[in-house]
Amino acid sequence: MTIANFDPRLITQYNEPRFLIHFQWGNSEKVYRYALVETMEVPEITQKTKQKKDETNLSQKEIWEKKYKK
């Protein structure tokens, strides 16, 4: 059961970008926390694939492991 406090559609209520976002996937009992890791200018990213030049042909998981995983 999704709890309203963790509904990702609530993001529209904020006027400023959030540093942390919390939500639930489907009926999961877990709450997922996503953190802002980077901001970029529109020309730096391919709008269709949402990838930068050094990320081409990498999966989301591979990008995360390459750049953000500690």
Query: Domain residues of the chain, as ranges?
Result: 1-36, 40-70
With 0-12 / 13-18 / 19 or more C-beta atoms within 10 angstroms meaning exposed / middle / buried, residue 58 is middle
How far is the C-alpha of 26 from the C-alpha of 21, rounded, in Å? 16
Output the pLDDT for position 52: 95
pTM given for the model? 0.67
Residue 22 phi, psi (nearest 5): -120, 135
CA 55 to chain centre: 16
pLDDT tens, the chain, 70 aa long: 556 676 777 788 888 988 998 888 878 888 889 999 999 999 999 989 999 999 999 999 999 999 988 8
Phi-psi sector, 15: left (phi>0), alpha (psi -120 to 50), beta: alpha
